Amino acid sequence: MSRNPFSNKTNTGSESYSRNNPGKRTWVLVVVLLVVLMIGVPIFVTLRNKPDKYTQSATEAVRKEIPNAKVTDVRVAGGFAIATVSDPTAKSQIRAGNVTILKVNEDGSMTLIANGSSFSPLDLLELGIPLDTQAQLRGTEIDQVMQSLESACGYNHGDAPGYNGFNGSFNPDMWEIDSGSLGNIERALTASVSNSNARLQPSEKVTCVNVTKNNSNATTDTKTYISTFSLELQFITGGGEVTTHMFTFSIGPKYYRAYTLDGQPLQDTLE
């Protein structure tokens, strides 16, 4: 039987060429790969070098006060952020890097609230940052935060608490507590707190009494010449719970002294 010259099974020259020249297909694949690399690599590098949204927000906030700031190691938790900020153009500590605390706003932007070489747990409490949030920002456990706090507060274990902040200056008029009055205040508070601590588990004991800068006051009775000073205190337990209390102490003629905690009188242990 003769072969049909019009049969569609007859191989064309181009098919034979393609089948017999695998180098052409390889060349096409190489070209495609090069195109993908030329487009993909710059995109990948750009995305990789682009700061995350928290670093970007922190950088924008910090550069309002430190124009040449470089912001790294941003951690966010509980509406706050902590970051390392350096300024290569500065001649001070910030050249090497400072710790910066920021407040995270509802819209995702940030506001710088403090900048310094270091912050203790008590410093961060003063900025309104709870202890559990501090632990998250530090990337550590709350037990470690408490150990640092108790050390800064001067707590030596047992039922007597440590004290912090009483040697500061207070509003109005930046009044201060003299050393004699401070000793009497600590004795009065220790007697009250220790009595309560003796009945509590270690995690419930008040280990630190910290003075805030809020709600302080000073008044003098012009008839009795008795001056009364008010302080807001934070009682911090071994388990990290923080409660707020109002404390007053009064001094006057003839060695007059009186103390109250949340409106209740405290015993003066020197009487």
More confident residue, 157 or 27: 157
pLDDT in tens, 119-161: 999 999 989 999 999 999 999 999 999 999 999 999 998 999 9
Is the pTM higher than 0.85? no
- Does 9 score more than 80 pLDDT? no
What does the domain layout of the chain look like in residue ranges?
53-118, 143-266
To the question of domain 53-118 being in CATH 1.20.140, the answer is no
Rounded average pLDDT over 99-117: 94
Q: Produce one character per residue of 24-44: b if its CB has 16 or more CB atoms within 10 Å, e if not.
A: eeeeeeeeeeeeeeeeeeeee
- Does 170 score more than 70 pLDDT? yes
Tokens 């297909």 locate to 25
| CA distances, 126 to each of 15, 129, 225, 248, 266 (Å) | 81, 7, 33, 20, 26
- Does 51 score more than 80 pLDDT? no
State the pLDDT confidence band at 78, using cuts at 50, 70 and 90.
very high
Rounded average pLDDT over 71-95: 88
pLDDT in tens, 208-261: 999 998 899 999 999 999 999 999 999 999 999 999 999 999 999 999 999 999
In this predicted structure, which of 21-30, 43-52, 106-115 has the lowest mean pLDDT? Answer: 43-52
> Peptide bond before 172: cis, by omega within 30 degrees of 0?
yes
Q: What is the pLDDT of residue 149?
A: 94
- Does 164 score more than 90 pLDDT? yes
Q: Distance between CA 172 and CA 162 in Å, rounded?
A: 26
The residues pairing with 99 across neighbouring beta strands, listed in sequence order, are 84, 116
**183: part of which helix (H) or strand (E)?**
helix 179-197
| Averaged pLDDT of the chain | 85
Q: What is the pLDDT of residue 27?
A: 67
State the pLDDT confidence band at 94, using cuts at 50, 70 and 90.
confident
State the pLDDT confidence band at 6, using cuts at 50, 70 and 90.
very low
In this predicted structure, which of 34-48, 167-181, 243-257 has the lowest mean pLDDT? Answer: 34-48
What percent of the chain stands above pLDDT 90? 68
- Does 264 score more than 70 pLDDT? yes
More confident residue, 77 or 34: 77
